[in-house]
Structure 1
């Protein structure tokens, strides 16, 4: 059958066992072995898949990037004598698109459509945000850290707990903002549940306005500010970034730029420039891709982040230049998000029964597939995080990056082995009272 021939060409590393709907079992074994830093080589990976229906087989044939996730959600395919992670890892290692004409064709079509798919005017952007972020509040409390940071953490050694790494991320970003005096006014674009804004106010005496398009996040963030006694220094608004007009000293945006859309990059950075005072500093943190421009996986676009896209820096920097901003620092975080997602995936698994009680089995399968595939995108498929530090003026910041380390050293000393004063605040009765 055609699918049999495709798999025979595709599997170049490891062994894939396939049980077809009629009970027939086939092994597809590649000649390649995988490198291992300690011993030079290791046994190539092995995994299996049970295709339980002919409909699932057709999905995999016609549109594998979408059909694989949908069939898993519907229970029509299942890992065979392995975990979902092991199965997905083997498929990622073998890069299905290389040997799969149908997938190459679909990728070309997605490329042609990407400007339409990422058209995010204010109304559509608001609906896209609600699709993912306005879910039951308990869901995120069951797999994120206690401060509910829903973006890449920062692992200075790789041995940190999730709470420690998310606190390190906030402190790392604060150091790049150069909050060198209290009372600086900060705009937090895409503020989530308020953790970054509250951190900057508490640790650095900043006055912060956080803006979001999620009604659920807005309610929680406002409640947290009141509970922390910071409502006089931190406020949160339901607002699109394009509606901001007042000048500020600092701008921070973490995990929001992926939702802007490639057709809106110039508008985004023009807005940043217009909102920064002449001596202002901005820090934008986002997911990117190391292998150049591409398109969003269709399953992710349909079920997780409609309108979302992780851009290559080659797509971002021209918009920065045209906005008249200085790029004063670029940092690439390679495996930090893979480690973050591994923590989330394990916590999701540990709380799966509680999450299923909020939704259903199909939802749990959807989220498992999302967390697994996302982690492997960073481990195998060239995804990373980038941080851009931006200014309006060439002389705003010191000549070297030493000030970042100097700002971060006291924070690391304070961190010690704990997760900081904000840990646990998100679990308060007020912030978890909403149920659906």
Structure 2
């Protein structure tokens, strides 16, 4: 029998996660130069529009194909689309034993697809063509995100309403190793996936003009703080909502989504104080996001005290990791690699040590760490390889990067014909 409370919970959480994409637009928009703020924010909104449509057309069907009872997960028909019934067969009716209608779950998962694609854009800020970005976003979502999300999130619904079987990362490895990888809300499918693709695109597009440490400073730290606040707010839907029920597990995920980013924020500021002499507002925002990334896969599987430790580790390590781009020579404009790829790896591997009952330090034998590593590095390798190939083909054909003179002039007027800040009327 459908539980209206759980259905409402899922729909509210979906709305919270959707808010994360505009929040990301503010976060990224504040980090770029003033002449590129519209361009940067438009990449997030472009992803919102494109991936929202693709998800309804076929993304949901690919991600949740062949799972559960007939018509429950995966929409019937060509490419999963039931054209005779507008793709709604089995989605509006709640199967016996399920607590919510499948269409609510489809809406919730749509918001994950949108934010994952939008995250990648930060690595190519200040130098990417909007049209080329949209083409990349559509192809990458189709051939990378939808399949990888199926590896992690796809599951079957048993007749008694319980969830079992599904993607090879969370369920398939159970048959081989006795335990499956834990990824409650998307450490692999979202953050490692997006971070690896971001690294690939940064390599394809090359460095910004004048790339050097300290050469590009955030033009609007208040935007960055506003974006981080919206992201943190939406992240409660991201993590707690992944329980698909308003219960104790969701409450644990909620509390850990407070504890880990709070600790990461503090750790990032400490690193900044020691390294640079001053803690910054951008550092506080970045630290909070790093903690949110790290706790995403682990939020329902560790106690709050271990969430704090995870936050401290993620905040400190990510604060140091963002400087790797200067040492290794790749231009990850807004530190998507240093925060999302590194933070996602930390959170995913941390479960191998501290997951309740199976972690190496929590009574396990190391198997959990093994499967976490297999999941993390498989997704990273797959996403990086395909993203690099897609980006390279686009760059060699229609061109992905704008001209250097347009970069110096600013993308807002060149690409969109708008300015982020009109301080005086000109007649």
**TM-score over 0.5 (shorter chain):** no
The structure with the largest alpha-carbon Rg is 1
Q: TM-score, normalised by structure 1?
A: 0.28
Structure with bigger RCO (C-alpha 8 Å, 6+ apart): 2
